[in-house]
Amino acid sequence: MNYELLSSQVIAIARLAGNFIRKESMNFDSETIEFKGLNDMVSYVDKTAEEILVDNLAQLIPGAGFTTEEDTIDTKGNTYNWIIDPLDGTTNFIHGIPTYSISIALYEEDKPVLGIVYELNRGEMFHTFKDAPAYLNYKPIHVSRRNNLADSLLATGFPYYQFDKQAQYMQLLAELMQKTHGLRRIGSAAVDLAYVACGRFDAFFEYNLNSYDVAGGAYLVQQAGGRVMNFSGGDEFIERREILATNGLIDFSMLEAIGRHFNSL
């Protein structure tokens, strides 16, 4: 598999879906939204963008499986599997807040080999592939080199439907507010991870996310020199649905802070 060529083809497909999303954002009617669950919204834009991605990606690797947020298709491939979020940050999109993205990952034998996060409003295409660095608009990027939690800027997300751990989470946020340069919640986990990869954030943490939220961005962080783990420091961040992505220098401080408030979410 020529992953460099494949990544160029996937980028072109992401841009195609992105053009559709941008066009629809100009006249989007919030009355068209549907609810999949509490505070879990979807629109025809998500669904159509996903169809564009699936239809075109399926032609690149015949027989590859798909995991998609809007259930356009859900199949398991023998070797290759795409993991797709057509519009990460749907709530932002619906409310006209200009931070949302397309996230695409390709797994080979259950290992990531390609990752893309396309932040639409800034026109920033983050991508990486096997045995390559991570790139932002084709320029190599690297995680930050800050090794002190006190100098770090962190990103997170807030629970919006599973509130049983809310008290512990708020206690953790209160501690980190006092020990860092600050916390940001911009509403797209894929973008948060891409920003860790390029050094804008020094760490990102959140729980109750799905594979399509984090697969592409997590691979970007790893290929940019960072680390991605669950809240106990293990590798099963997708299976455990809890993710801590760092620059690889403040891991211990972050895990220590998390551990003070809960062993695992």
| β partners of residue 246 | 203, 227
The owner of tokens 């972050």 is 254
User: What is the C-alpha to C-alpha distance for residues 227 and 243, in angstroms, rounded to an integer?
Assistant: 10
Asked whether residue 70 is marked as a ligand-binding residue, the answer is no
Residue at token pair 């992401």: 14
Which candidate, 238, 242, 253, 252, places its Cα nearest to that of 206? 242
Burial of 109: CB neighbours in 10 Å, binned 0-12, 13-18, 19+: exposed
Residue 99 structure tokens: 């931070």
69 is in an annotated binding site: yes
Cβ-contact 53, 18 below 8 angstroms: no
Binding residue per annotation — 40? no
CA angle, residues 256, 261, 265, in degrees to nearest 5 = 95
Exposure pattern of 132-167 as b/e (b: 16+ CB <10 Å)?
A: eebbbeeeebebbebeebeebbbbbbebeeeeebee
Determine contact, residues 45/24, Cβ cutoff 8 Å: yes
Binding residues for Mg(2+): 69, 85, 87-88, 213
Binding residues: 69, 85, 87-88, 213
